[in-house]
Structure formats: structure tokens, C-alpha cells
Structure 1
Amino acid sequence: MRICIIGSSKKFFSGISAYTIVMANAFAEQGYKVSVILLRNLVPLFLYPGRARVGKEECQIDFHPDIEVYNGMDWNSPGSWYGAYRFLQKQKPEVVIMHWWTSSVAHMQFLLAISKQVNGNKFRLILEMHEVVDTLEEKIFPIRIYSRLGGKAILNLCDSYTAHSEEARQAIINTYKLTEDRIDVVPHGPYNMYGTLDRGIARKDLNLNGFTILYFGMIRQYKGVSLLVRAFNKLPPELASNMHLVIAGEDWGDDTELMPVLDNSPYRDRIIFKSEFIPDENVPKYFTASDVVVLPYLRTCGSGVINIAAAQGKSVITADLDTMTECLNGYGGVRFFPVGDVDALRDSLLDAYHSWVVNGVQTYQFTGVTWEAIVKKYEHIIGEMDKRQRVSC
């Protein structure tokens, strides 16, 4: 079967960029003829919070050499849109999987979606929804309206939809009024492409000693990083003196509580704040050096970071969101706490610390979904689309 995947390029690198590469490679490894269309320039550069790193190509993973790649579509270049259309005509995919995560690319995705109705360029279109509505876009009224309208226009052209959890599936159904039988849950795929380093070398390089707590990933208001700092601030002094809190990730500036609570922390000297995008080559260092990974999200539709942590066998503390409990079902190294509860998060940190004192560094086996299973799930979805098409005919 010929399949085309549409996602973000490395230029505006994000979790979607990595996911596009890993998913395309997984389908290729299962014998599919895979092509990829990349959305290259997503927005005017001055509007992008991470503009300082755009184009630096800090992702080491790449597409399998047998995959045909069109790189790519630009938000302001109709010529690049036409090039993508011609690429689709040449590749003749039977199925297209399009990643949805932001309304900023809605006009490009809409043109690709509508192309299946032009000049016999027939394919079945599946929209994989990594987000319902971006929280930053949701706060700005004109963008919120555009996002809802753009999302609805694209959804109307799709044959099927996927979400990463049942919680996200229900939110998408409620927001866009989809029918239950057209949207399936396909779990977030594992990120097992990162190796490990010598722990001693990693900790020396980061200047760490004692029990190490890691928050990793983009810093946004809904990710709850300020909640984590407040919980850390409430630890007993005699224990905090034997801990480090490492916060590593690109700060988009919408968590207005973070810097005040960080600067006023009684344990500021025990907090390492690495406010920048962490390139692939340094990712293993942070996870190898840590004793527990804390993701205090206030909401989520899926998390690449949690899949890195689990693949690394790390102890995890996270909010008891349905998406997280689904993702980590059966994982022995997880502690859940009620969403937004600072005291409960502090208690989870203390529990993890005491376990570390007694048992030392622990690793866990993640028995979650594999990419092979994800490809099989998509095969089932495609089969169901074929059945509906035959019935309608």
C-alpha cells in the first residue's frame, strides 16, 4: 500500500517533527511505500516564540532512505503548495495521514485535503489529532475562531480521525461534533530512539549531586512547571539540600507565574533552569542523570516526553489525567497525583526521594504500545473505511 504522511519539517522543529519522522519510518519498516509532505515555514518568523533556533536542524533522526520527501510547504508560498499537490499526484498514495496540532497551518492542510477531489487524485484521508485547540491560540479570540473554523473545514474533508487517548477522543468529538464511529484511539508511539550515557559522566557534566528531579520539554502554562517549583519549595530544608530540580526546555513565556516563584525559591541554588531547546544529542544526558521525571501537566492530549521517560525506564511522577493514566497503564515506575494539587505533588516527590534513599537508582520496563502495533491499528482503521465505502456504494 502507498501511504503519505503530512507533518512538520525539521526547520520549525517540534515534537510533531520527530513524530512525523518516526511514524514514517515505522510504516516503511512494515513494508509500506511511504512518502512524506513536510510543512516547512509554518508562520511569519517574528510570530514564532522559538524563532532563535529555527533552521538549526538540531534533530539527529531522519527519514529512511527509501522514503520520498517533499520539503516543503511554506505558509506564504502558493508555488510550494502547488509543488506539494504535484508531489501527491506523482506518488498516488492510497491513504494520507495528516497530523493536526495547530491552526497556523490550516490553510496549507486544507489545500492538501481538498486536492483529493481534484483531477482524480483519490486517497483516503486520516487526520491524526495531537491537539484539540492550542491553548495559546484559544486565548486570542480571532485566532480561536479561525482555529475552530479551519479545523472544522479540514475535518469535513477527512474520512477518519485518530486521537492519542480516550480523553482526547471525547474532547475532539465534543468540540467538532464528530460521530463516534469515525474517530479511533491510536496511542502515542514510543520514543525509543535515544540511547543512554554513563550516569556518572552525565551528572558531572550537569554538575548534579543527590536526588535529581527532571522536568523536560517545552515550558507552557498548561504544562504546570510553576506548580512543580512551588511543590519543590515546600520540601523540608534538610531534604531539599540533598536534591536538585532540573528544568530543561524552551520557554514560550505564557506561564507568567514561573519566574516569580522560581526567583523567590528558598532553594534557588538547588534549581537548574535550562531555558532553551535541548538538541537531540543532549537528550540522553538529562534523562540518564535524573532519578525521577516529573510532568505536572494541567491538561494534555498526549506527550512525547512521557514516552521518552518510559523508554528510558525512568521513575515518573505525573498528574492523574486520563490521557496519562492510559499511556502509562501497566508501567511500574509511575506515581500519579491529583491535577493541580501542590501538596500532593510535594508528597509524591518525598515518596520518590525516600524510595531512592532505600533502593538507590531504579529502572523499569515499559510494556506499552509498539510502532508495529500502531501500524496494525492503522491497517484496521483503513479496513473499516473500506467497509464504509462499500456500504455507501
Structure 2
Amino acid sequence: MVQNQGESGGKRMIMMAILGPSPRFLSGISYFTMRLSNALAPGNRVTAVLFRNMLPTRLFPGWRRVGSEITELEFDSGVRVEEILDWYNPLTWAKAYRTLRRQQVIVLEWWTSSVAHMYLALCLMNRRKVPVVIEFHEVVDPLEQSILPIRYYARLMGTLIRRRAVRYVVHSDADRSLITTHYRIPEEEVTIIPHGLYDQYKVFGKSEAREHLGFAEKNIILFFGLLRPYKGVPTLIHAFEELPGSLRSESRLVIAGEAWEDQESVRLARSSAYAGQITVIDRYVEDREISLLFSASDLLVIPYTRASQSGVAHIAMAYGLPVVASEVGGLVESLGGYQGTTFTRPGDTRGVVEGITKVLKEKKNYPVPEELRWDRVAERWEELCGDLVKEDGPGTSQGGDRS
């Protein structure tokens, strides 16, 4: 039985565990797990339970960098870190549950079904003794949907795990509508908590950053993030080629990020008639270089054809950069209140041309959205978790089984 933790400054202290990927398998979800854990640590007892070996290493598209120390972000000292879950070892799952059973709330970060068997095992051991909250970063992963056996596996395992949760968190109203219809989850069980800013990166002077990167052009147009088919990079390349001649001649397009399922965009950029003005960084970009790229750039373009959310946009907003974005999914909500956003239709090359031209003509930065600061995000989480915690310790499921 977990003892009542009392209150801190009028706010009840909550014992919670957040499950996500270790920095060994570094990705946007790793960063998110660290930032959320750190934001909740003041005034609460937070344990980060991490996947040490998330899946067979060679199946991870960025397997060559697994285990490399390529981020400067760390868990705060107030977060207890248990990096113990191995995909192949049920003993590590049992060890993890010994930690989870002492919590008042368990938060599962959901972004891939590759960890579903571990989530399910932990949920079965839990037997609804501690309330489970699932936070969705991907409602439906496009790669998993494209491979028939994985699609069926993801559907089955996802159903079994969702039945064992009592609340669900998404980052936008669009995602709430999607999961309530796709997974038949009652709307009242879904809470919208926005994605926090990725404001952990250093800000360099624009001239200093450009000199370090070797960029001499007047205008720097940035695409950043993993290259996947739904990211719409070909639309951006074609838009760059169609910029007015004088504007294009004094501009550089930078495409930075590992090409996972989208090697075609790399080939398209390198075979472009303007390839000399296109920089392709086809690898994982480390933190210091991220700082330099965003400090050097005049705008970020995210021409996605679909999106639940974009962590990359939350880096750009932290820098006050203008963003030219497709009007799709959760981007409409997360970027809609940001003064620096210009929306275009997905796949609309002409719209991207007009958006880039407008931004480069105005050349200004924008206020950082205060509502996306992590202390604000933490308040929303504390409100949700507080509702789930009973005065005498862990609660039981309020939802029951759901098909």
C-alpha cells in the first residue's frame, strides 16, 4: 500500500512512473520522456522507467547510433531513472513492475507497437491496481499500417493494452477526435494536454551560426527531422526550385535528418538543377548542431501530408522562427495560435512557394507561446493525475473492459 504523500505548497504530491525509450534509442519520444519527467519532478515523486533494449537493434532504422552519447539533455536529479526494460527478457519486465506497483499513476508513452508486448505484460501484472494513462504520440503509425502482419499485430496488442487504461492523453482536439472514432474510446476519457516546447537548445547569433556551418547565403530555409514519406519533402524541394529567380539565388535549402523510408527525397535533392544550393544532412543531427541549424535559419518548413504533432515545430517556436506548415491534423491546433505560422494545403507546391516568399520578405521572429512552457504542461498533468489518485493510495480502474 502506498502511503499518503501529503501536500507540498497546497498541491498534493503524486508518485508517478513514466514509461518511454531510453536515450540509447534516441528519438523525439526520448526527448519528450525526459522533458515531461523533469517538468513533473518538482513537487512530485517521478520515476522514469525506460526501455534499455527496445527491439532487436538492427531493426531500428538508426541502429548505427544506438547507445551513442549524442544528446546534452539529461534527467534532472529529482527524477529516479530505471533503465531496465529489455524486449527479450521477462525478468526485466517483472523487475520494472516491482517499481510500478509502488506508484499512484502509471503513464505509458505510446508511439510504436514494437514495445507493445512489454506494455501488455506490465498491464497484466498490474491487474488495474494502479491507474494507467496512455499518452498518444502516434494514433496510427504509417509504417506499421503499410505492413500487413504488423498492422494486425499492432491492432490486437493496442486493443488489449487500451482496455487496461483508465485515461488517455492526446496533444490536440484533432487527435482526440481520431482516437475516439478509431479506437471507440469515450470522449470524456480523453484529455488534451499540449506538447511542450523543446527549448533546451542553445541560441547562437545568426552570423556566428552561419559562419560555423559554412552558409554564405542571405536566406536559410530549413527542413528538420526524420525523412519519411508523409513528411512531404519532395513538395519542399519542388517549391525551392520554383522560387522567384532572384530570391532562390540568394537562398539555401537545408534538409537535415536521417532518411528512414524516404531515400527518394535525398536522391531528388541531390539531382536537382539547384543541388548546389541544397544541403542534405542525411544522418542523425546532434544537439549542438541542432542549435546551430535553428539559430542560422530564417524559417522552418514542415510540408507534411499528415501529422498528429510535430516536435520539430516546437523547436522552431522556442526560437521564435516563422513556420510554413501544412494544414493537417494536430498541426492546425498546435501551430494555430503561434503568430509565426503560415499554413498551406498539403502537397501544394505553389502554396509553399508563396509561404516562403512571404516569410523571407518580412524577416522577423515571433513571441514564444507561453501556454506551451513545460511548467504549464506539468500543471495540466498534475490536474489529471490528481483526479485519479484516491486519498488512501492507488485507485482501481474506473473504466472496465472495452472492446
Normalization by structure 1: what TM-score?
A: 0.92
| Residue 365 (structure 1) aligns with | 368
Q: Does 1:290 align with 2:297?
A: yes
State the shift of 1:10 in Å. Answer: 0.5
- 2:126 is aligned with 1:109: no
- Structure 2 SS opposite 1:184: strand
> 3-state SS of the aligned residue for 1:181?
helix
Tell me if structure 1 keeps the 8 A contact 2:197–2:318. Answer: yes
Confirm or deny: 8 A CA contact 2:309 2:329 kept in the other structure: no
- The CA distance in 2 between the partners of 1:390 and 1:239, in whole Å, is 59
Matched, 1:75 2:78: no
Q: What letter matches 2:377 in structure 1?
A: I
- Would the alpha carbon gap of residues 179 and 21 (structure 1) be closer, same or farther in structure 2, given more than 3 Å must change? same
Deviations 1:114-137 (A, max 9, x none): 22228xxx3111000100121111
Tell me which of 202, 208, 217 is aligned to 1:201. 208
Separation in structure 2 between the aligned mates of residue 380 and residue 326 of structure 1, nearest angstrom? 21
Following the alignment from structure 1 to structure 2, what is the Cα–Cα distance between the partners of residues 289 and 235? 20
Distance 2:399 2:179 in 1: 25
In 2, the alpha carbon distance for the partners of 1:391 and 1:5 equals 20
For the residues of structure 2 that align with 1:131 and 1:99, how far apart are their CA atoms?
Answer: 10
Residue of structure 1 equivalent to 2:147: 140
| 38-47 or 373-382, larger mean C-alpha shift | 373-382
Q: Does 1:16 align with 2:23?
A: no
**Alpha carbons of 1:392 and 1:15: their partners in 2 closer, same or farther (altered >3 Å)?**
closer
CA RMSD of aligned residues (A): 2.0
Deviation at 1:66, TM superposition (A): 2.5
Q: Secondary structure at the match of 1:11?
A: helix
CA distance in 1, matches of 2:398, 2:262: 50
Deviation at 1:368, TM superposition (A): 3.2
TM-score (norm 2): 0.90
- 1: CA distance between counterparts of 2:397 and 2:233? 50
1:335 aligns with 2:342: yes
Deviation (angstroms), 1:364 = 3.5
- Measured at CA, do residues 197 and 142 of structure 1 come closer, stay the same or move farther in structure 2, by a change above 3 Å? same
Question: Given that residues 315 and 364 in structure 1 are in contact (C-alpha distance below 8 angstroms), is that contact kept between their aligned partners in structure 2?
Answer: no
**CA drift at 1:256:** 5.2
Matched, 1:85 2:94: no
Secondary structure at the counterpart of residue 328 of structure 1: helix
Where in structure 2 are the equivalents of 1:171-182 lying within 5 Å?
171-182=178-189
1:381 aligns with 2:396: no
1:94-113 deviation per Cα after TM superposition (whole angstroms, max 9, x unaligned): 01111000000000111122
Counterpart of 1:350 in 2: which secondary structure? helix
Which residue of structure 1 lines up, in the alignment, with residue 48 of structure 2? Answer: 36
Contact 2:259 2:266 in 1 (8 A): no
The alpha-carbon distance between structure 1 residues 145 and 187, as it changes in their structure 2 partners (threshold 3 A), is: same
Give, in whole Å, the separation in 1 of the partners of 2:306 and 2:397.
Answer: 39
Instruction: Return 5+ residue gaps in structure 1 as ranges.
Output: none
Spell out, residue by residue over 1:337-389, the C-alpha distance to the aligned partner (whole angstroms, 9 max, x if none). Answer: 11121111111111122223xxxx53433333222222222233235446997
Change (3 A) 1:24 1:230: same
Aligned match of 1:27: 40
Structure 1 position 160 matched with structure 2 position 167: yes
Greater RCO, CA 8 A, separation 6+: 2
1:60 and 1:392 map into 2 onto residues whose CA distance is: 40
Report the Cα offset of residue 309 of structure 1: 0.5
SS in 2 for 1:68: strand
1:315 corresponding residue in structure 2: 322
Query: Could you list the runs of 5+ residues in structure 2 that have no partner in the other structure?
Result: 1-13
SS of structure 2 residue aligned to 1:368: helix
Residues in 2 aligned to 1:392 and 1:270: alpha-carbon distance in whole angstroms: 56
Aligned to 1:217: 225
Aligned to 2:158: 151
Matches within 5 A, 1:245-260: 245-252=253-260, 254-255=261-262, 257-260=264-267
Aligned-pair identity in percent equals 36
Q: Tell me the equivalent position of 1:58.
A: 70
* Cα distance in structure 2, aligned partners of 1:390 and 1:240: 58
Aligned length: 382
Measured in 2, the distance between the counterparts of 1:199 and 1:66 equals 35
Q: Distance in 2 between matches of 1:391 and 1:149?
A: 22
Q: Distance in 1 between matches of 2:373 and 2:328?
A: 22
- 1:95 & 1:389 partners in 2: Cα distance? 10
CA apart distance, 1:392? 8.8
Write the deviation string for residues 18-47 of structure 1: whole angstroms up to 9, x where unpaired.
111110111112x00111100121111221
| Cα deviation, residue 233, structure 1 | 1.2
Shift, 1:170, TM fit:
1.3
User: For residues 392 and 306 of structure 1, what CA distance do their matches in structure 2 show?
Assistant: 34
